[in-house]
Amino acid sequence: MAPSFAHVVRMHERDGFAPFDAQEDVRGISLQLRETDGRLRVQPRLEPLFAMPPRPRRPPAVRLAPGQWVRWQLNYRFSSAAGMQDWSYWWDTFNVAYGPVEAQVFLSQPTVHVDERGPLR
């Protein structure tokens, strides 16, 4: 698969949750993408490894046919490696489409929705 770019929107508490968008090389995003037999295999990578909630079992990767899309959501709670800082919270939502799709595709219901959000006690 040729290098691709992703439209990334980030919001941080330090910026008052104002959205900031950019184009980034898809290889730098926490997402595994592999094209095989006319389908796109999608699986987010877990980061950081020391975050909560623990995920001993994860859903399998999603295999998209052309024209399909997936919304995959994960959340995290983490502190510094030494545990000396306050908790921070992180929520990732990946919207991934395979092949040609309409410009407004992510405003509709996804073909597949994977919700890996867990309790952040």
Instruction: Indicate the pairing of strand 69-78 with strand 112-115.
Output: parallel
* Residue ranges in the chain modelled with pLDDT below 70: 1-3, 47-56, 79-85, 121
- CA 60, distance to chain mean position in Å, is 14
pTM above 0.95, yes or no: no
CA angle 95, 7, 107 (to 5 degrees): 45
Residue 36 has a pLDDT of 93
**pLDDT value of position 11:** 79
Lookup: tokens for 85? 């800082």
- The two most distant CA atoms of the chain are separated, in Å, by 48
3-state helix vs strand vs coil in the chain, percent to 5 = 5, 45, 50
Q: Are the CB atoms for 32 and 42 separated by under 8 Å?
A: yes
- Is 72 within 8 Å of 114 (Cβ atoms)? yes
The predicted structure's pLDDT at residue 112: 97
Q: Is residue 100 classed exposed, middle or buried when 0-12, 13-18 and 19+ CB atoms within 10 A define those classes? A: exposed
Whole-number pLDDT of residue 85: 67
